[in-house]
Amino acid sequence: MTKKNTVYYPLWKELYEVFKNNEYGSVISYKDLSDCIDVDIKNHRYIVDRFKKEMLRRDDKALSSVRNVGYRIVMPNEHGRLAYCELKRAERRTRQGVEYALHVPFDMLNDQEKAQLTLIANRIQIVHAGLIGECKSIHTTTVHFELPGTPRPKI
C-alpha cells in the first residue's frame, strides 16, 4: 500500500486509476505495471488479479495475458471467447475432481467415509456432465451461429 493524502491506498487502485482510460486493444506491459506502483508485479500477482477484476467489473474491460509482455485489454467481441475458455477450464477442473473421488483405496476407508466419497463422486460427475454439455452447446453456438428468425406478420 502507498500513502495517498495520508490515507493508505491499495496498490490495485493505483493501477486502476492509471490504466482505466486505456482503449480496447491496448497493451499494458509488466514494466508499466511495476513502474506505476514501484513493486515487482511478478512477486505480487494478487495485486494484478484484483486490478483485472476491478477493470472488468467497473469498466467492462477484460484483460488477457500476452506472454512475456503484459496484458491486453480485449475487444468487446472477444468476451465470449474468454467466457468459453473459463468454462472449459471449469470442465477440466471438475474432471480432475472426479478423478480424485473415484481413484481411492476404498479398503482403507470406513463405511461413513465410503458413503461420503460415493456421494461426492456422484455429484461431481453430474456437474462434470453438465459442463461437458454446455461446452459443446456453446461451441456449436459460436461456430454455427445464426440469429434467430423473426416471424413476419401475414398480410
Q: Write the pLDDT tens digit of every residue in 75-87.
A: 999 998 899 999 9
Residue for grid cell 456449436: 140
Tell me the mean pLDDT in the region 136-143.
79
Tell me the residue type at 44. Answer: H
Q: What percent of the chain has pLDDT over 90?
A: 73
Q: If 0-12 CB within 10 Å is exposed, 13-18 middle and 19+ buried, where does residue 46 land?
A: exposed
CATH number of 2-74: 1.10.10.10
pTM: 0.74
- Reference 63, options 80, 46, 75, 45; nearest CA is 75
The residue ranges of every structural domain in the chain are 2-74, 78-143
pLDDT tens digits, one per residue of 42-86: 889 999 999 999 999 999 999 999 999 999 999 999 998 899 999
Of residues 102, 95, 19, the one with CA closest to residue 63: 19
